């Protein structure tokens, strides 16, 4: 990305202020995705002991943080349609400046950046921007991706689609579009999501 684009559009050096500068729809989407992915990750830790798999005890914290800023790059798109596929890499580029505000350990900072950079990649290699496959997509990224898809489908204009159909459609894409473990955790954590986030604000 041209650094000139960055200068002038983002005029804050404070990470919280940056997040608060999101337009309201993007802010609410990011907030919901962060909550969904956090609950799914907590569930994974509790029932699948995923923290052992990832080698870190702060798995859900990383998932939450990465999800809260996963669409950061959209702030810098000059044309939301034409440049859409660039938003993950632009977001990761921008976030490098805020690394130290994000989280204390360098390894965890890297994991947050990966979440932003890779949240549209797919296990089958058909995602974007890099078209990498499951072997190169870290598991914490998969949690953000599935939570992102869930929010998009819940907020879709077509309100006739019920939640069971949404979950079924995500389930059918396990292993191809979404990480299988993340989908499994979403399905089993769904009741917790509804319980903890009972008052839906899907505007
Ligand atoms: Fe995105
Ligand atoms: Fe998103």
Q: Which two tokens stand for residue 127?
A: 């995602």
Query: Does residue 44 surpass a pLDDT of 50?
Result: yes
- Judge contact between 116 and 65, C-beta under 8 A: no
pLDDT at 7: 42
- Distance from the alpha carbon of residue 87 to the mean position of ligand 2, in angstroms: 10
Work out the pLDDT band at 57, boundaries 50, 70, 90. low
pLDDT at 45: 80
As a whole number, mean pLDDT of residues 36-49 equals 84
Q: Which two tokens stand for residue 170?
A: 């995500």
**Which of these, 197, 167, 184, lies nearest to 50 by C-alpha position?**
184
Domains and CATH numbers, the chain: 3-196 (1.10.3210.10)
Please tell me whether residue 74 adopts helix, strand or coil conformation: helix
- Distance from the alpha carbon of residue 153 to the mean position of ligand 2, in angstroms: 11
Work out the pLDDT band at 201, boundaries 50, 70, 90. low
**Which of these, 77, 62, 72, lies nearest to 93 by C-alpha position?**
72
What is the C-alpha separation between 171 and 149, in angstroms, rounded? 12
Could you read off the pLDDT of 78-135 as tens digits, one per residue?
888 999 999 999 999 988 888 778 888 888 889 999 999 999 999 999 999 999 999 9
Q: Please compute, for residue 6, the number of CA atoms within 13 A of its CA located in the half-sphere on the CB side.
A: 17
- Distance from the alpha carbon of residue 56 to the mean position of ligand 1, in angstroms: 25
As a whole number, mean pLDDT of residues 37-56 equals 74
pLDDT at 202: 53
Cβ neighbours for 28, distance < 8 A, ≥ 6 positions apart: 201, 203
Q: Which two tokens stand for residue 184?
A: 């499994």
User: pLDDT above 70 covers what percent of the chain?
Assistant: 83
Could you read off the pLDDT of 9-18 as tens digits, one per residue?
555 567 777 7
* Nearest ligand to the CA atom of 33: 2
Cβ neighbours for 187, distance < 8 A, ≥ 6 positions apart: 167, 171
pLDDT at 3: 45
- Distance from the alpha carbon of residue 79 to the mean position of ligand 2, in angstroms: 17
Q: Which two tokens stand for residue 123?
A: 């296990």
- Distance from the alpha carbon of residue 33 to the mean position of ligand 2, in angstroms: 7
Q: Which two tokens stand for residue 70?
A: 């996963």
């Amino acid at each position: 990305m041209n650094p000139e684009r960055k200068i002038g559009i983002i005029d804050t050096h404070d990470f919280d202020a940056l997040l608060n500068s999101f337009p309201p729809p993007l802010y609410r989407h990011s907030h919901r995705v962060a909550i969904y992915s956090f609950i799914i990750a907590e569930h994974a830790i509790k029932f699948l002991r995923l923290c052992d798999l990832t080698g870190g005890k702060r798995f859900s914290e990383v998932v939450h943080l990465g999800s809260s800023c996963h669409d950061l790059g959209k702030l810098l798109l000059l044309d939301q349609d034409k440049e859409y596929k660039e938003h993950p890499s632009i977001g990761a580029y921008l976030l490098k400046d805020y690394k130290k505000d994000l989280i204390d350990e360098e390894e965890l900072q890297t994991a947050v950046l990966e979440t932003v950079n890779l949240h549209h990649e797919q296990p089958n290699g058909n995602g974007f921007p890099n078209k990498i496959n499951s072997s190169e997509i870290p598991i914490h990224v998969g949690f953000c991706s599935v939570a992102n898809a869930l929010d998009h489908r819940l907020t879709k204009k077509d309100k006739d689609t019920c939640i069971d159909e949404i979950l079924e459609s995500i389930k059918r894409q396990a292993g191809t579009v979404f990480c299988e473990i993340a989908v499994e955790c979403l399905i089993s954590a769904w009741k917790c999501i509804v319980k903890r986030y009972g008052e839906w604000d899907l505007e």
